[in-house]
Structure 1
Amino acid sequence: MAGIVIQVLQENTVTQASSLAIFDLDNTLLGGDSDHAWGEFLIERGLVDATEHRQQNDAFYAAYCDGSLDIHAYLEFALRPLAGKTPTDIKPLQREFMQQMIEPMRLPLADTLLQMHRARGDHLLIITATNELITRPIASWLGVADLLACEAEIINGRYTGKPHGIPCFQQGKVQRLQAWLADKPFMLEQATFYSDSHNDLPLLEAVAEPVAVDADETLQALAKSRGWRMLSLREPKETLD
Structure 2
Amino acid sequence: MDLALFDLDNTLLNGDSDFAWAQFLITKGVLDRETQEAKNIAFYEHYKAGTLDIVEFLDFQLAPLARHPRAQLDDWHREFMETSVRPMIGEAARERVRHHLARNDLVAVVTATNAFVTGPIAREFGIAHLIATVPAVEEGGAFTGKARGTPAFREGKIERVEAWLESMGLHFGSFAQSWFYSDSLNDLPLLARVDHPVAVDPDATLRAHAERSGWPVISLRGAF
> Structure 1 runs of 4+ off > 4 angstroms?
none
2:167 alignment partner, SS class: coil
Aligned runs of 1:101-140 on 2, under 5 Å?
Answer: 101-140=84-123
Aligned runs of 1:118-197 on 2, under 5 Å?
Answer: 118-157=101-140, 158-184=142-168, 186-189=170-173, 190-197=177-184
Question: In 2, Cα distance between the equivalents of 1:45 and 1:210?
Answer: 38
CA contact (8 A) 1:20 1:192 kept: yes
**Cα displacement (A) at 1:185:** 5.3
| Residue-by-residue CA offset, 1:171-219 (whole Å, 9 max, x unaligned) | 0001101110103354425421000001001100111111101010000
Question: In 1, Cα distance between the equivalents of 2:151 and 2:104?
Answer: 29
2:31 alignment partner, SS class: coil
C-alpha RMSD of matched pairs (Å): 1.4
The answer to whether structure 1 residue 91 and structure 2 residue 74 are counterparts is yes
Identity %: 45
CA contact (8 A) 2:201 2:220 kept: yes
2:84 alignment partner, SS class: helix
Aligned runs of 1:59-74 on 2, under 5 Å?
Answer: 59-74=42-57
Where do 5+ consecutive residues of structure 1 fail to align? 1-17
- TM-score norm. by structure 1 comes to 0.88
CA contact (8 A) 1:20 1:186 kept: no
**Cα displacement (A) at 1:89:** 3.1
Where do 5+ consecutive residues of structure 2 fail to align? none
**Between Structure 1 and Structure 2, how many residues are aligned?**
220
CA contact (8 A) 2:162 2:171 kept: no
**Cα displacement (A) at 1:87:** 2.9
**Cα displacement (A) at 1:32:** 0.5
Residue equivalent to 1:222 = 209
Q: Which deviates more, 118-127 or 33-42?
A: 118-127
Question: In 1, Cα distance between the equivalents of 2:57 and 2:64?
Answer: 13
